Each structure stands twice: as C-alpha cells, then as structure tokens.
C-alpha cells in the first residue's frame, strides 16, 4: 500500500476500531451502549477488524519495512555496481550488464520471475517487478504490494 495513503487512513481506522472495541468490551461490564448483546459483540468484532486492517496497512507499506521499496533500492544498487564494474558495456546491446544485475539480485536473495504484468511490459534486468524475494514471508508481502501497483 502507498505510504501516503496508509498514513492518511491510519488515524481514522485506529479511532473507529478503538472506539468499537471499547464499546464492545464495556458491554461485558454491563455498560451497554447498544440495544442488544448481539450488537455489542458485532461492534467488538468490527473494531478488531479495523485494528487488524490498520496493522496490515503498516505491514505492507514502505514505512513498515523494506519490502517492495527496499527491492527497488536493491535493483538500483545492483545496476550502479554493475555499470561501474563494466563501463565499456553501457549502451551496447550485449547482455553482460543485464546478466550481472540478475546475478547481483540473486546474491541478495531475489528470484527472477516474469509473472507480473509490469515485468512483461519491460523484460529488463532493472525492472524491480521482475524479481521476488526468495524468503517466503518477504515474498508474500512483496507479491501483495505488487498487486496494488
């Protein structure tokens, strides 16, 4: 999720979720703000859903970790490193730079994959949408973030 969008929504989801959880928990102390116990339980569950959604926003945003943002930085760092190592290859049609960027990303625990539509638009080694982390948790988060790009 875009960090700006998550930052905008977080206060609202925290307030709504916190209020619903508080009102739902107060019903267990016989301080009823709803007509029935059933409504209090629904409020408690909805409040927890709002709080979970807020946590998910932070987890999947660039503020919550490197993930997709870090992957973009890693691709840029590899590109810089390889072009500095092979300056005579810049601008040529050879695959030396592209192959070495892929190797660099492999050393950083990324796998080359062409499944994402943005990767298929530009099958080049510097396209960060053509990589996914090898670690399963990071891979799941980055794949989730890529769905919104």
Going residue by residue through the chain (149 aa), what tens digit of pLDDT does each one get?
A: 455 566 677 788 888 998 989 988 888 888 878 888 888 889 889 999 999 888 877 766 655 456 788 888 999 999 999 999 998 888 888 889 999 999 999 999 999 999 899 999 988 999 999 999 999 988 888 888 888 77
Is the entire prediction scored with pTM above 0.85?
no
1 near 148, Cβ under 8 Å?
Answer: yes
Q: Which of 80, 138, 87, 120 is nearest to 104 (CA)?
A: 80
Domain layout of the chain by residue ranges: 3-64, 67-146
Q: What residues have CB less than 8 Å from 26, skipping those under 6 apart?
A: 32, 33
CA distance 78 to 101: 6
């Amino acid at each position: 999720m875009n960090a700006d969008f998550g930052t905008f929504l977080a206060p609202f989801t925290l307030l709504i979720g916190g209020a619903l959880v508080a009102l739902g928990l107060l019903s267990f102390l016989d301080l009823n703000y709803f007509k029935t116990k059933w409504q209090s339980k629904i409020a408690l569950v909805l409040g927890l859903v709002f709080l979970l959604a807020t946590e998910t926003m932070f987890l999947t945003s660039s503020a919550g970790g490197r993930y997709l943002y870090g992957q973009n930085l890693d691709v840029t760092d590899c590109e810089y490193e390889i072009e500095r190592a092979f300056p005579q290859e810049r601008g040529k049609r050879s695959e030396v730079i592209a192959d070495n960027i892929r190797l660099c990303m492999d050393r950083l625990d990324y796998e080359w994959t062409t499944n994402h539509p943005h990767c298929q638009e530009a099958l080049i080694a510097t396209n960060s949408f053509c990589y996914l982390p090898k670690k399963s948790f990071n891979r799941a988060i980055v794949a989730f973030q890529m769905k919104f790009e």
